[in-house]
Chains A and B, each alone.
Chain A
Amino acid sequence: MKKIIPIGPYHPLQEEPEFFKLYVDGETVVDIEIEIGYNHRGIEQISTTKHYDQVTFAVERICGICSTSHPFAYVNAVEDLLGIDIPIRAKYIRSIIGELERLHSHLLWLGLAGHFIGYNTVWMWSWKYRESVCDILELISGNRQHYSMFKIGGVRKDITKELIPQVEKMCNDLVAIFDMFKGAVMDDPVIHARLKGVGVLTKEDAIKYCVVGPTARASGIDIDVRRDDPYAAYGMVEFNIPVLNNGDVFDKAVVRILEMYESIKIINQCLSGLKKEPEGNIETKVDFIQPGEGIGRHEAPRGEVFHYIRSDGSNRPVRHKIRAPSYMNVASNKVAAVGQTISDAAITLAAVDPCYCCTERTTVINLNNKKSILCWNDLIKLSQEKTEKLKNNYAK
């Protein structure tokens, strides 16, 4: 018999509204309907009412977690339109901010994933260590979130030479923490049993759904805008791109953990690059935006952010199209979650690291429904119970 389980739109942990309708047959999910729109604010239209400098701040407000990805892609788009190059120092600073954001975003996801499968210690730990990344960002930009570092033609703030050793030390201190997380995920038999083979997104499906970022790289698709279409300082530094082939939740977690090491590597190279560049030269002046079109991309923590901008020569864009990575990734849940048990649904849906703010640029408990409803809470409880069971099995 087919039953419908509505999840969301509001639930206590996932900070964003989302609404999944799970069609279940007994314990198995047979179909899933994703409804978004609870977070739509119409930023594409707002952006056409602001002038180019203001848009950098407006697009930052698309999403708090990827709050530098959107300005990054936006300035890339405008610079593509103008065909200008920016000073090397600004390039390094941009990459540093981008990578710091990746660190804090992956730690955040790791914590939430830990909570979903009942490892609340992992949750608390990763959020604790995430604070130290926020501290670095506050040190550099003055803000914990919404760093406001980017502007067309460069960056707003320099990383002075007094700051560099401090940032270097704080970043390198993180490596020991990543080692701990890596050990916690890769060596724990319960996590292996809990996550391996769960929520598999095959390579064929990944291509069909055009997924991006860690979701694609866990399914064996070797794409990364930082390497494929180098921008900022990514053409000047060396890094690896971890790619795994199973496409399950375990691989998605491992890809993210390995990526954090690469981020530290990139930051260190950028910082030593900064030491060689003369201070103060962080901006190319832009006086006039000529008519034309530009496309900018950035590899955000969740995948490729895509911005398209069209100018008619006035001081405001006439069209600004924004495509966030979750827009492609969330849709792929349709295949990844089907065939799973309900207890696996929570972690599968969370594994793409969905970001609805981005998806809708702007995305409730079904209150009047008399049907018995499993809310996210119950779902997480189910998921945690399953882990508990596995743990007990291993203890025996």
Chain B
Amino acid sequence: MKETIIEKVREKFGNKIQEFFKKNDKKYYIEIEPKDIFECAKILFEDLNFRFCTASGVDCEKNFEILYHFSYDKTGEIISLRVKLDKTNPEIDSLTKIFVAAEWIEREIWEMLGINFKGHPNLKHLLLSDDWPKDNYPLREKD
């Protein structure tokens, strides 16, 4: 049996995969629906022993993107789960229930891009001062 970790991921995710992109041997990008993020992260972290690296929030023209980067340290692969969120009222499930490590990065994305994380225990400013003006999100594109 010589099943690679990527094949396992594809099998476990099944039809949750919207788009699969292989950048090179070590970097894979998988696009999924925002509603599936909790389940997919759980599969990667708990069943397949991936390590959560970080998440990058990006402000694109039409929507917000969050990339959750997971690393598989036995073979050095990185899988990035990509979700696309609407510009009006962006929100997504918090992953803090699966791993505590997501707490800080979700707070950061919340204050930098204004994306709401449902179920986050402690959503307050991490890096910026507490009296930072509302609706001023530093990493949102300004017109």
Contacts and interface: CB of A to CB of B under 8 A. Distances in A.
A and B touching (C-beta < 8 Å)? yes
Contacts of B74: 228
Nearest to B52: A210
A228 B73 contact: yes
Interface residues on B, range: 35 or more
B114 to A, nearest CB: 15
Interface in B13-39: 23-24, 26-27, 29
Interface residues on A, range: 35 or more
Given A293-B29, A327-B104, A210 B56 contact: no
Interface string A203-215: 0000111100000
Contacts of A44: 139
16 contacts: A40-B128, A208-B99, A209-B99, A210-B99, A223-B51, A223-B73, A228-B73, A228-B74, A292-B23, A306-B53, A306-B69, A308-B56, A308-B67, A319-B56, A319-B58, A331-B104
B58 to A, nearest CB: 5
Given A208-B100, A308-B67, A310-B58, A293 B129 contact: no
A45 B77 CA distance: 28
Interface of A is mostly: mixed
Contacts of B100: 208-209, 331
B101 A328 contact: yes
A225 interface: yes
B93 interface: no
Contacts of A321: 54, 56-58
A306 B139 contact: no
Contacts, number: 85
A18 interface: no
Given A208-B101, A228-B73, A308-B56, 11 more contacts: A37-B127, A80-B23, A228-B76, A229-B77, A293-B29, A294-B23, A308-B54, A308-B67, A323-B54, A323-B105, A331-B103
Interface of A: 36-37, 40, 42, 44-45, 80, 83, 207-210, 222-223, 225, 228-230, 292-295, 297, 304, 306, 308, 310, 318-319, 321, 323, 327-328, 331, 360, 362-363
